């Protein structure tokens, strides 16, 4: 009982020091305060990931960007007459586009790692061999007079998203003739950037025009193709052992080993949303792109961010341990000591991020967690003055960090594991807290 002879301020000081309610409120307030540095850690992780992406962009800008190959597309101009509001007749040039009957592409990718600071960027050089054939360029479906078709201005175009990556002189073998490719396109109805060449097409063309050409191309990380053939078959090989198949179609067959991968696709014209021929720009073909991403299996930023999401849980349960020790064993723990422990828990994430940029994430996690657990356990010994309570604190921290590590590995089941883990921990806390007679503190409150 508080001495009635004490002054008001002395009584207030004693009440504040001994009030269970004040302690709980101060612990809750400190947890909220620690959310500020926790959010700063998440911002730091995002910043480091952005720098990693920025390093990739810098290397790609010099070597070659992500490449998407579209075509070949055969385009034949024609004249079309219109009548304006003054009843005057005028003509303008429009374009008919034809896609190949079949298209086969052989791709051999030679990847290599480039370094920008502490960051790794994967780039590649690929040798591409194209072959296929076009059917007769038939205008019958459109009722366009033969005299309006500009056969001599027909051209074949191949879309390449980053022209800087081209490393060879490109020549088209078409119907037993050779035509050099030139940069640029006459129109952008189908392809926005790429190379093209004029070819010999006559109005009496009844044969199937076979073609072949090769491209030696540089790019970064990803390589995509657009299936313009009525039947498109692509075979791809590389010594890269960590491919990720992307886009509108997955390969029909693939084999991935430690020595590399090979994959093949077969896409029919019925699998896509545009026909074999059309007029103007009424169809867009970019949405049908597919290919491969040469990933570097480094996901430490993602794992660091996911682990930082559990910061509030680790801080709360660690503070809960200290609070139970304080209540059950009548140990007085100063708010500053709570705060120091909380900051040590936050520093874990900074250590994890910094070390994982240089070492494997699992090793970085082990080093950071051991350092943090050791620091807090040794500090708690100076607070509790009891080996058993110190050991319980250290063991609890080990269980928490092991649980989070397992949750990080099980990406598909992370939410399930996290929910079950929280439920179990809450059950244990409720079981232990049943021994506390909360009303016994009423006299202090």
Residue-wise pLDDT for 31-80, tens only, equals 888 888 888 888 888 877 777 777 777 777 788 888 999 989 999 998 98
- Residue 7 has a pLDDT of 59
Does residue 401 lie in a domain region? yes
Residue range 238-243: mean pLDDT, rounded: 89
Q: Which of 127-131, 136-140, 432-436 has the highest mean pLDDT?
A: 127-131
- 41 with 151, same domain: the answer is no
pTM above 0.75, yes or no: no
Residue-wise pLDDT for 257-299, tens only, equals 988 999 999 999 999 999 999 998 888 898 899 999 987 765 6
- 434 with 377, same domain: the answer is yes
- Residue 206 has a pLDDT of 53
Range of the domain at 229: 65-297
Token duo for residue 56: 């990739």
Which candidate, 46, 44, 43, 42, places its Cα nearest to that of 309? 42
Band of residue 213 on the pLDDT scale cut at 50, 70, 90: very high
Q: Residue 259, Cβ neighbours under 10 Å: how many? A: 8
- Residue 397 has a pLDDT of 84
- Residue 20 has a pLDDT of 64
Does residue 7 lie in a domain region? no
- Residue 18 has a pLDDT of 58
Q: Of 297, 319, 341, which closes a domain?
A: 297
Does residue 14 lie in a domain region? no
- Residue 80 has a pLDDT of 84
- 143 with 234, same domain: the answer is yes
Q: Of 270, 297, 324, which closes a domain?
A: 297
Residue-wise pLDDT for 341-394, tens only, equals 888 888 888 888 888 878 888 888 899 989 988 998 888 888 877 788 788 888
Q: Write down how long the chain is.
A: 445
Q: Average pLDDT over the chain, rounded to whole?
A: 82
- 288 with 308, same domain: the answer is no
Which candidate, 111, 290, 70, 108, places its Cα nearest to that of 216? 108
d(CA 318, CA 50): 32
- 290 with 309, same domain: the answer is no
Band of residue 1 on the pLDDT scale cut at 50, 70, 90: very low
- Residue 208 has a pLDDT of 64
- 217 with 135, same domain: the answer is yes
DSSP state of 149: B
Structural domain count of the chain: 2
Q: Which residue has the tokens 């980053």?
A: 162
What does residue 82 show for φ and ψ, rounded to 5 degrees?
A: -135, 160
Residue-wise pLDDT for 151-171, tens only, equals 888 899 999 999 998 998 999
Does residue 12 lie in a domain region? no
- 186 with 290, same domain: the answer is yes
- Residue 406 has a pLDDT of 79
Residue range 2-12: mean pLDDT, rounded: 54
- 314 with 345, same domain: the answer is yes
- Residue 72 has a pLDDT of 93
| Percentage above 90 pLDDT, the chain | 25
Q: Is 242 left (phi over 0), alpha (psi -120 to 50) or beta?
A: beta
Does residue 2 lie in a domain region? no
- 225 with 372, same domain: the answer is no
Does residue 6 lie in a domain region? no
Q: Is the pLDDT of residue 14 over 60?
A: no
Residue range 397-419: mean pLDDT, rounded: 75
d(CA 99, CA 137): 10
| Percentage above 70 pLDDT, the chain | 86
Token duo for residue 269: 């014209």
Does residue 352 lie in a domain region? yes
- 238 with 362, same domain: the answer is no
Q: Of 297, 320, 337, which closes a domain?
A: 297
Band of residue 140 on the pLDDT scale cut at 50, 70, 90: confident
- 245 with 276, same domain: the answer is yes
CA distances from 48 to 322, 350, 357 (A): 34, 11, 9
Of the chain, the end-to-end C-alpha distance in Å amounts to 11
Which candidate, 418, 404, 319, 317, places its Cα nearest to that of 365? 404
Q: Residue 355, Cβ neighbours under 10 Å: how many? A: 19
Does residue 410 lie in a domain region? yes
- 26 with 85, same domain: the answer is no
Residue-wise pLDDT for 313-346, tens only, equals 788 878 877 777 777 666 777 778 888 888 888 8
């Amino acid at each position: 009982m508080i001495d009635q002879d004490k002054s008001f301020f002395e009584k207030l000081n004693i009440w504040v020091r001994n009030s269970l309610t004040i302690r709980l409120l101060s612990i809750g307030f400190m947890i909220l305060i620690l959310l500020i540095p926790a959010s700063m850690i998440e911002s730091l992780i995002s910043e480091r990931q952005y720098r990693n992406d920025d390093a990739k962009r810098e290397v790609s800008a010099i070597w070659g960007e992500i490449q998407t190959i579209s075509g070949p597309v055969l385009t034949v101009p024609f004249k079309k007459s219109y009548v304006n509001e003054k009843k005057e007749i005028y003509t303008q040039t429009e374009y008919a586009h034809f896609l190949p009957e079949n298209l086969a592409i052989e791709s051999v990718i030679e990847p290599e790692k480039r370094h920008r600071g502490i960051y790794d960027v994967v780039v590649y050089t690929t040798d591409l061999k194209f072959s296929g054939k076009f059917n007769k360029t038939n205008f019958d479906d459109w009722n366009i007079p033969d005299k309006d078709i500009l056969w001599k201005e027909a051209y074949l175009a191949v879309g390449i998203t980053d022209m800087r990556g081209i490393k060879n002189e490109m020549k088209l073998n078409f119907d037993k003739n050779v035509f050099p490719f030139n940069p640029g396109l006459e129109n952008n109805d189908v392809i926005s950037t790429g190379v093209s060449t004029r070819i010999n097409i006559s109005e009496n063309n009844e044969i199937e025009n076979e073609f072949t050409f090769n491209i030696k191309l540089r790019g970064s990380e990803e390589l995509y193709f657009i299936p313009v053939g009525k039947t498109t078959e692509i075979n791809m090989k590389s010594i890269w052992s960590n491919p990720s198949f992307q886009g509108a179609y997955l390969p029909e067959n693939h084999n991935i080993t430690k020595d590399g991968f090979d994959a093949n696709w077969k896409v029919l014209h019925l699998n896509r949303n545009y026909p074999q021929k059309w007029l103007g720009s009424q169809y867009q073909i970019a949405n049908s792109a597919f290919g491969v991403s040469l990933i570097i299996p480094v996901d430490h930023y993602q794992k660091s961010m996911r682990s930082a999401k559990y910061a509030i849980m680790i801080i709360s349960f660690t503070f809960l341990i200290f609070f139970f020790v304080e209540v059950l064993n009548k140990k007085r723990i100063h708010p500053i000591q709570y705060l120091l422990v909380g900051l040590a828990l936050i520093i874990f994430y900074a250590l994890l991020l910094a070390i994982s940029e240089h070492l494997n994430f699992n090793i970085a996690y082990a080093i950071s967690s051991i350092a943090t657990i050791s620091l807090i356990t040794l500090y708690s010994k100076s607070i509790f003055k009891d080996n058993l309570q110190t050991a319980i604190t250290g063991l609890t921290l080990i269980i928490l960090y092991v649980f989070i590590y397992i949750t990080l590995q099980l990406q598909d089941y992370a939410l399930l594991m996290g929910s079950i883990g929280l439920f179990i921990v809450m059950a244990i806390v409720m079981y232990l807290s049943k021994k506390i007679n909360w009303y016994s503190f009423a006299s202090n409150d």
